[in-house]
Each structure stands twice: as structure tokens, then as C-alpha cells.
Structure 1
Amino acid sequence: MFDLANPILIFAAAIGSGIVGGIFYAFSSFVMAALGRLPPAHGAAAMNAINVTVITPSFMIAFMGTALVSLVLAGSSFFWWGQTGARVTFAASLIYLVGCFGVTTACNVPLNNRLAAITPQQEAVLWAHYLDRWTLWNHVRTAASVVAAVLFTAVLFLI
């Protein structure tokens, strides 16, 4: 049943996915290009530092909190499926969960772990591959986060 909790959760998901999308957009727009202009050892070291530093409460609340809220909204949308906004809420939730959270855990994090584990002799070879692959997957999660934010916001106008 649709109740007051849903608009609050939908609003939180819209804000959270927008914040996450903005962070990822910065990386797609200029951060990775800037790191790519550095010598491989410096670029890899900077990215490794970013990957450690990003584990902060403020980022994790936005990133993982939005995933949790999206999971709750996806499940609860079946209880009000016939009502306005339920299908869009489900779609937005699924897009965030798969396109942002899923891509991060399946693609970006393994690349980060591999980069952190390489020796200095491997940096030059891996760095070019890392930049291309990581940025490609970052584009996907950026788009997913932004689309989810737009859809969650649209639901607020529908209900």
C-alpha cells in the first residue's frame, strides 16, 4: 500500500542517485582525463589514493544508502503496482541497483583492486588498460545514476 514513507524514500533515492551521478560524472568528464595525462606511476598512485580516500561516511551513505533505499522501493513497488508511479519507481530502482551499484561492484572495484596489487614494473602496461576500462564502466554507472535520479524525481511529480 502506498503511504507517506514512499515519497520520503523516493525523494531520498532521487537525491542520493543525483549526488552519486554527479560524483561519477566528474570522473567521466575530467578526473580520469587528468590522471591519464600523468606518467603511469603517478596516475596509478593518484587513483589508488582516491580509491582509499573515497571510503568515507558521506560517500558511502550516498552510494550504499541509495542502493538500500532502491532495494526497498523496488520490493515495495509491487505492493502498490497498480498505482501511479509504481512502475517508474521500480524501473528507477532497478537502473540504480544494476547500472550503478552492480557495475561498481562487478567492474570498477575489481579494476581498482587489480591496480592496487600491481608492481611498479606492471604500471605502464596496466595503466592504459585501466584508464580505458574503468572510464567506460564509469560512464555506464554515471548514466544509470543520472537516469535513476530523473526517474525518481519524475515519480514525485506523478504522485
Structure 2
Amino acid sequence: MTKLLPTLTFVAAIGSGVVGGVFFAFSTFVMAALVRLPVPTGIAAMNSINITVITPTFMTALFGTGLICLVLIAAALLGWSHSRTYWLFAGAVLYLVGNPIVTMAFNVPLNDALAAVDPASSNGAAVWANHLSQWVMWNHVRTITAIVAMACFIFALL
């Protein structure tokens, strides 16, 4: 396990960076572009994104990195005497809580509510407004935690 740990940490750093980059794009310009569209079009575009994002590649990046983080947490707890394990533990917990858990607890339910509404209705406009404020806020959390986790993994490798 000791020989595998640097490789898993490196893969977790790459995975965190990839996932953080995707969420960074949404936080910095994708959602701003969707806001500029008429409400029904913005809802339709977001619903389309929410369907097309479910690919083996992205799911592996998001949840596969989370699985690696579970292994890294266990390794950090078992090898707590090494100075770099603090970085390893911090990065793994940050990523796991801030990305797969936040995604499933907050972003996915918001996406499901958006998919269930009639985009042309007045309720659609209200759900879209709530979606924009809440989803973007939680996406900022995902962005920041993924990027900080990546930095922690890099420090753990130094």
C-alpha cells in the first residue's frame, strides 16, 4: 500500500483538478450564459446539460476520484505519523464532502426539480430563479473544494 499511495495521490490530484475545472467553467461563464437566455430556453439548455453530463468519463472523474479519496482517508488515518498525511487527509475529505456529497445532496435534487417543471409556466420561472441562485452557490462550493483538494494532494506529494 505504501508504494501505491503516491500513485493514488497523483490520480486524486488529477481527478480533483479535472472536476474542479468543469465546475469552474460553470461557475465563471456557463451559468452566466444560461441566465441571458429566455427562461424556457435556459431551462431546456440546463436540462440538456444535466442529461449529457452523465457519461462514463465524467462519472469516473467525479465518483472515481471520490472512491480514491476513501482509500486515501484510510491510508492517512493508518499512517498519521507522516507529516504529509495531514495534506492527504485534508484533500481527501475536502474532495469527498465538497464534490460527490454536495452533488448528490444539493445539485442533483435541484436538477431533478428543474427537470420536473414546465419551462413555459410561471412556476417554471420561479423554479429557474431558485435553481440559478442555489445551484450556482453549491457549484461554487464544489469548485473551491475540488481545487483546494488538488492543492492538498500536490502538497502531500512534495
The TM-score bracket by the shorter chain reads over 0.9
Which residue type is aligned with residue 137 of structure 1?
A: W
Q: Structure 2: which 5+ runs fail to align?
A: none
Partners of 1:17 and 1:40 lie apart in 2 by: 32
> How far apart are 1:129 and its partner, in Å?
1.2
- 1:129 maps onto 2:130 in alignment: yes
> How far apart are 1:155 and its partner, in Å?
0.7
Partners of 2:98 and 2:55 lie apart in 1 by: 22
Count of aligned positions: 156
Match of 1:138?
139
- 1:147 maps onto 2:148 in alignment: yes
Partners of 1:6 and 1:153 lie apart in 2 by: 13
Which residue type is aligned with residue 97 of structure 1?
A: L
> How far apart are 1:105 and its partner, in Å?
0.8
Alignment of 1:73-92 (within 5 A): 73-92=72-91
Match of 2:71?
72
Which residue type is aligned with residue 20 of structure 1?
A: V
Match of 2:26?
27
Partners of 1:132 and 1:84 lie apart in 2 by: 40
Partners of 1:124 and 1:105 lie apart in 2 by: 24
Moved over 6 A (4+): none
Alignment of 1:84-103 (within 5 A): 84-103=83-102
Partners of 1:63 and 1:7 lie apart in 2 by: 20
Partners of 2:60 and 2:29 lie apart in 1 by: 24
Match of 2:35?
36
Which residue type is aligned with residue 10 of structure 2?
A: F
Q: CA RMSD in A?
A: 0.9
Partners of 1:84 and 1:125 lie apart in 2 by: 50
Deviation per CA, 1:117-142, whole angstroms, max 9, x where unpaired?
11231211111111111001000010
Say which SS state the counterpart of residue 124 (structure 1) adopts.
helix
TM-score, reference length from structure 2? 0.96
TM-score, reference length from structure 1? 0.95
Which residue type is aligned with residue 27 of structure 2?
A: S
Deviation per CA, 1:74-128, whole angstroms, max 9, x where unpaired?
0121111101311211111000011111111111010000000112312111111
Alignment of 1:49-68 (within 5 A): 49-68=48-67
Partners of 2:130 and 2:39 lie apart in 1 by: 11
Q: Structure 1: which 5+ runs fail to align?
A: none
